[in-house]
């Protein structure tokens, strides 16, 4: 009896094993109790200020693991320093894929580092998800089906401002200040495309600066003297502070569009002076963590509680820590949606099948949507005007996928 | 010093092991070792200048960048075969290095270090400025070449052999150069420039030549790195790269040909180990490694090995 039963059980088990084999043995990085996620971040070097994103993601995954993981699997998050140097990124990513055998790569940071591994990831067919850069080229499912961006790209944002100007400021004379690199030029391109044929007529002066310049005072004076009554300010926080201050000091009062990159109250508007910042217009997709209007918001309070418990060394006025939290939630959402099939192909399929996902730190009404032909998860933004105290949202949500 | 035959046997064994590695190691490890070979070329180049000739350069990352962009631009814009771009990088860097060496003649020691440092500082911005050719900060993406002549090798294996072959050629050339008349002249200038001139050595010519050859070696290394990494961007060639090269030369052993290999192994693997030991402060660990190395092996790795060998063979003095 027992003998026959044992044999039967054995046969059954073997049969099941054979059936289950294609699923279980499918792809590296996944076991019954674990899923391995790889990442590179600049923890040292010129861009090390962004390294807090890599740490924040680890802290969020820790919370997920403490709460039981995803479908019983714990996340094993492996992150390496690439110092923002592309060859180092290639080396570390190859280590993650070939030696550590991660299931997917998540949130590798920076346009040059990601460009260096773009081809490799698609040749190896390893999901290269939600990369941390605002460049436009990550939304290219036809040629690079394994790579996907996350945040709204800079060109989209530039277009939003252009459309607002065309509709609302009939006699606009536009002056532009931009950082002379891929980030500044992406914004500029979106803006000029958005203005279309009117661009030549409306833009009266373009000024650029290098990220290593000490000051941009002379550019602001030139822009004022050009007679511009609209100012599109494409600068990173350090220069945004200078631009807001200087134009206020010399009495230039254009309609001032400030790019989202520098929309932080804590690190830009307060140092520049709240009075000088009054009237600024920007486009937002996430809740500004230093903005008092979200003080009693449930999502913001949850974020604060998480910061205190899991990432106490992180800065509470650094928007990057809210970014890390939100992008990690997107990743967890996709993995949950995968159910028990954590093959690379299915993870990619589910990443391209996010439907109306709303997250606590995104602006109310913003929904993440992807499809096999749409690899741009966040495509909605809303304009906001600074009223001297907070960003007052106005107008409707702008949706780039519908224009 | 080990005897000639022992040395030759050791060398042959080493090359045999190096040739066998691609059939044992994974693609990722081969990529790392290809990078070691590439660094070794750059370090040998820098060693010709700094170790043998006594001129300190903090700007060799610039020649590395020049080599890498020579390859990238020729392949991407002009469709030239990547293999031909390597000698092109050699020649271009030879000329540029030689020309840079002429004004540098007026600068000694630390002043030269500062002048070359300015090269390292300037190069990322210069690369961004000529955006039309260099692709700006987006860089240039290349394809990894396949093995030619239908060889049954993966791309990683092929690039490993290619780097190894170029390395051996450069080492043989370097050895012939440095152990002959030219090498002795370079060392003489380093040790006592006045005496060297009195012996009839054209100090200006040799110093500029040392600069040119040194830059050419580093340029070839840069060209190969462009091929192996298959991507070039200005962010790769920051000041830190130049300093890393100098670290490699000193740790490996000044005025030593084999030191280039040890130095390359150090700059490739020690930062990774440091990261494995402590995620929070990898560069502090790296710093400790560096101090320990300098304290225990003041003549670099190759100098210490030589010392150890001579004690082993001749224990009594």
CB B22 within 8 A of CB B157: yes
User: For residue B14, is it within any domain?
Assistant: no
| Cα(B96)–Cα(B6) distance, integer angstroms | 40
Q: Please tell me the pTM assigned to this model.
A: 0.82
Nearest-CA distance from B220 to chain A in Å?
16
Residue with tokens 């046997």: B9
Q: CB-based contact (8 Å) between B229 and chain A?
A: yes
**Least confident piece of the model among A13-17, A396-400, B123-127:** A13-17
- Tokens read off for A137: 């080229």
CA distance B108 to chain A (A): 29
| Residues linked to residue A375 through DSSP beta bridges, in sequence order | none
Note whether B235 contacts A112, CB cutoff 8 Å: yes
What pLDDT, on the 0 to 100 scale, is given for residue B38? 95
pLDDT in tens, B185-224: 888 888 888 888 888 888 888 888 999 999 999 999 999 9
CB contact under 8 A, B137 and A111: yes
Instruction: Check whether A17 has a pLDDT greater than 50.
Output: no
Let me know: does B51 contact B263? Beta carbons within 8 Å: no
Q: Is the dihedral of CA B264, B268, B269, B271 positive or negative?
A: positive
Chain A interface disruption, residue of B26, B126, B233, most A CBs within 10 A: B233
- What are the C-alpha distances in Å from B279 to residues A126, B271, B284? 25, 11, 10
B144 vs B148: CA distance, rounded Å:
12
Question: What is the helix (H) or strand (E) element at residue A81, kind and residue range?
Answer: strand A74-81
Of A87, A98, A210, which has the smallest distance from its Cβ to B236's Cβ? A87
pLDDT digits (tens, 9 = 90+) for A113-141: 999 999 999 988 999 999 998 888 899 99
Q: Is the pLDDT of residue A375 over 50?
A: yes
Which tokens belong to B248?
A: 């490699």
Q: Is the pLDDT of residue A6 over 80?
A: no
Say if B218 falls within a structural domain.
yes
The pLDDT value given to residue B28: 86
Residue A19 binned pLDDT confidence (cut-offs 50, 70, 90): very low
**A97–B143: do the CB atoms touch at under 8 Å?**
no
pLDDT for position A24? 45
Domains and CATH numbers, chain A: 34-152+297-379 (3.40.50.2300), 154-284 (3.40.50.2300)
Q: According to the model, what pLDDT value does residue A8 have?
A: 52
Q: Is A291 exposed, middle or buried (0-12, 13-18, 19+ CB in 10 A)?
A: buried
**Lowest-pLDDT choice from A353-362, A377-386, B147-156:** B147-156
Judged by a CB distance cut-off of 8 A, whether residue B278 touches chain A is no
SS (H, E, C) A131-156: CECCCHHHCCCCCCCCECCCCCCHHH
B288: in domain: no
User: Among A9-23, A33-47, A255-269, which stretch is predicted with the lowest mean pLDDT?
Assistant: A9-23
CA of A181: how far to CAs of A208, A212, A384, B125, in Å?
9, 12, 26, 10
- Residue B81 CB-half CA count within 13 A: 6
- What was the ipTM of the complex prediction? 0.80
B230 to chain A, closest Cα gap in Å: 7
Tokens matching residue B261: 């290999």
Q: Does B235 touch chain A (CB under 8 A)?
A: yes
- 3-class SS at A27? coil
Nearest to A46 among B128, B238, B275 (CB): B238
| Tally of domains in chain B | 1
The answer as to whether B293 is a domain residue is: no
Structure tokens at A360: 């606590």
Q: Is the pLDDT of residue A20 over 90?
A: no
What is the share, in percent, of chain A residues with pLDDT greater than 90? 64
Count of CB atoms within 10 A of residue B187's CB? 17
The partner residue sitting opposite A86, judged by closest CB among B139, B143, B275, is B139
Residue B203 is assigned to a structural domain of this protein: yes
Q: Specify the pLDDT at position B40.
A: 95
Q: Which one of A43, A90, A112 has the shortest CB-CB distance to B139?
A: A112
What average pLDDT is seen over chain A?
89
By C-alpha distance, the chain B residue nearest A82 is: B272
CB contact under 8 A, B141 and A118: yes
Nearest CA in chain B to A81: B275
3-state secondary structure of A253: coil
Confidence category of residue A3, pLDDT binned at 50, 70, 90: low
Domain contains B174: yes
* Segments forming the whole domain that contains residue B231: 27-236
Looking at residue A191, what is its pLDDT?
Answer: 94
pLDDT at A16 over 50: no
A71-to-A58, A59, A325, A346, B85 alpha-carbon distances in Å: 19, 19, 20, 15, 52
Contact A182/B138, CB-based, under 8 Å? Answer: yes
For residue B135, give the nearest of B226, B38, B25 by alpha carbon: B226
Q: What is the DSSP string of chain B?
A: ---HHHHHHHHHHHHHHHHHGGGTS-HHHHHHHHHHHHHHHHHHHHHIIIIIT----S-HHHHHHHHHHHHHHHHHHH---HHHHHHHHHHHHHHHHHHHHHHHTT--HHHHHHHHHHHHHHHHHHHHHTHHHH-GGG-EE-PPPPPSTT-S--HHHHHHHHHHHHHHHHHHHHHHHHSSHHHHHHHHHHH-HHHHHHTT--HHHHHHHHHHHHHHHHHHHHHHHHHHH-EE-GGGGSHHHHHHHHHHHHHH-TT-TTHHHHHHHHHHHHHHHHHHH-SS-HHHHHHHHHHHHHHH-TTHHHHHHHHHHHHHH----
Residue found by looking up tokens 């690899």 in the block: A375
Which residues in chain B show pLDDT less than 70? 1-3, 315-317
pLDDT score at B2: 57
Task: Read off the pLDDT of residues A275-316 as tens digits, 9 standing for 90 and up.
Answer: 999 999 999 999 988 888 898 999 999 999 999 999 999 988
CA closest to B31 among chain A residues: A91
CA proximity to A261, closest of A98, A34, A49:
A49
Give A232's Cβ-side CA count (13 Å radius).
34
In a domain, B277, yes or no: no
Q: B127 lies in a domain?
A: yes
Please provide residue A195's backbone torsions phi and psi, each rounded to the nearest 5 degrees.
Answer: -75, -25
């Amino acid at each position: 009896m027992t003998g026959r039963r044992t044999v039967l059980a054995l046969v059954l088990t073997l049969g099941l094993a054979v059936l289950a084999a294609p699923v279980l043995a499918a792809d590296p990085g996944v076991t019954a109790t674990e899923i391995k996620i790889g990442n590179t971040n600049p923890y040292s070097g010129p861009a090390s200020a962004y390294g807090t994103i890599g740490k924040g993601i680890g802290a969020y995954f820790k919370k997920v693991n403490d709460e039981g993981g995803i479908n019983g699997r714990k996340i094993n998050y492996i992150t390496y320093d690439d110092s923002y140097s592309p060859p180092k990124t290639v080396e570390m990513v190859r280590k993650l894929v070939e030696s550590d055998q991660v299931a997917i790569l998540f949130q590798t940071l920076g346009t040059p580092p990601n460009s260096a591994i773009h081809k490799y990831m698609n040749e190896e067919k390893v999901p290269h998800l939600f990369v941390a850069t605002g460049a436009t080229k990550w939304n290219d499912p036809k040629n690079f089906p394994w790579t996907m961006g996350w945040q709204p790209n800079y060109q989209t944002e530039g277009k939003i401002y252009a459309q607002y100007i065309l509709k609302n400021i009939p006699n606009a004379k536009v002056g532009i200040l931009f950082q002379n690199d891929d980030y500044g030029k992406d914004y500029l391109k979106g803006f000029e495309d958005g203005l279309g044929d009117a661009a030549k007529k409306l833009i009266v002066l373009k000024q650029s600066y290098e990220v290593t310049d000490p000051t941009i005072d002379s550019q602001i004076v030139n822009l004022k003297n050009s007679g511009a009554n609209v100012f599109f300010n494409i600068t990173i926080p350090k220069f945004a502070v200078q631009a807001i201050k200087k134009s206020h000091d010399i009495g230039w009062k254009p309609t001032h569009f400030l790019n989202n990159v520098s929309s932080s109250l804590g690190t830009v508007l307060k140092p520049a002076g709240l009075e000088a910042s009054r009237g600024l217009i920007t486009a937002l997709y996430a809740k500004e963590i230093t903005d008092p209007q979200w003080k009693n918001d449930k999502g913001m309070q949850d974020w604060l509680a998480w910061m205190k418990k899991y990432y106490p060394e992180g800065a509470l006025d650094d928007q990057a820590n809210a970014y890390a939290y939100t992008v990690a939630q997107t990743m967890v959402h996709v993995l949950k949606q995968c159910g028990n099939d954590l093959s690379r192909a299915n993870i990619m399929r589910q990443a391209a099948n996010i439907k109306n996902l709303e997250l606590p730190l995104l602006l109310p009404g913003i929904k993440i949507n992807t499809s096999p032909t749409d690899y741009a998860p966040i495509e909605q933004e809303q304009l906001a005007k600074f009223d001297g105290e907070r960003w007052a949202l106005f107008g409707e949500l702008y949706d780039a996928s519908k224009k | 010093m080990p005897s000639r035959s022992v040395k030759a046997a050791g060398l042959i064994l080493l090359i045999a092991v190096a040739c066998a590695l691609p059939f044992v190691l994974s693609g990722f490890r081969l990529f790392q070792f290809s990078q070691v070979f590439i660094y070794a070329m750059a370090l040998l180049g820098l060693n010709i200048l700094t170790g043998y000739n006594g001129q300190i350069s903090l700007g060799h990352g610039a020649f590395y960048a020049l080599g890498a962009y020579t390859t990238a631009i020729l392949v991407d814009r002009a469709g030239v075969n990547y293999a031909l771009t390597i000698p092109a990088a050699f020649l271009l860097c030879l000329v540029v290095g030689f020309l840079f060496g002429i004004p540098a003649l007026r600068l000694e020691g630390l002043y030269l270090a500062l002048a070359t440092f300015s090269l390292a500082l300037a190069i990322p911005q210069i690369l961004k400025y000529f955006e039309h050719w260099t692709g700006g900060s987006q860089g240039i993406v290349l394809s990894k070449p396949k093995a030619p002549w239908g060889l049954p090798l993966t791309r990683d294996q092929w690039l490993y052999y290619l780097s190894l072959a170029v390395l051996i050629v450069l080492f043989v050339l370097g050895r012939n150069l440095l152990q002959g008349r030219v090498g002795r002249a370079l060392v003489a200038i380093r040790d006592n420039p006045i005496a060297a001139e009195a012996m009839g050595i054209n100090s200006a010519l040799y110093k500029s030549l040392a600069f040119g050859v040194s830059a050419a070696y580093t340029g070839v290394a840069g060209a190969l790195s462009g091929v192996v990494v298959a991507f070039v961007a200005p962010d790769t060639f920051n000041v830190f790269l130049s300093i890393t090269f100098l670290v490699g030369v000193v740790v490996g052993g000044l005025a030593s040909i084999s030191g280039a290999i040890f130095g390359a192994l150090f700059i490739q693997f020690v930062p990774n180990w440091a990261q494995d030991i402590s995620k929070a402060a990898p560069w502090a660990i790296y710093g400790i490694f560096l101090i320990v190395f300098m304290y225990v092996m003041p003549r670099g790795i190759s100098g210490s090995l030589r010392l150890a060998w001579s004690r082993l063979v001749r224990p009594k003095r």
